[in-house]
Amino acid sequence: MVDGAEPGRAGAKAELPLMSDAFPELVAEIDRLLGLDDPLDQLIGTVGVRRFHGRCTCTAGCGNILTALPGSPGPYVLGLERDGLDVIWLNLDPAGTDVVSIEVLDPSDLDLDHVEPPGVRRC
């Protein structure tokens, strides 16, 4: 699993907030959209239990929400749609079973502008 603590930093994982605490509305919307497409989707309920590792800063315009250590590979993208348009992209690990980052394309109706929780660093 790519969500583990950084090497050499015992307890680092426990310091990071759960996604369900950091972004409850986003997590609920992801689960809702996954359930609309496939009520048995294996990803339903998994984002909320992942840790919030900050936001990606690879470029000035990137604001991906990291659910794994910075630099974790995410070669697959799962688009979630609302009214036929992609609104959220989930970047999945090489096995396609874990979400490593989230890109919100349409933030309407989601509270994403709050201050980042204590202990979270920008990558």
d(CA 91, CA 98): 8
**Residue 80 pLDDT grade (very low, low, confident, very high; cuts 50, 70, 90):** very high
User: Interior CA angle at 85 toward 52 and 92, to 5°?
Assistant: 35
8: left (phi over 0), alpha (psi -120 to 50) or beta: left
- Of 40-54, 60-74, 76-90, 105-119, the poorest mean pLDDT is in 105-119
d(CA 85, CA 19): 24
What is the pTM (predicted TM-score) of this model? 0.79
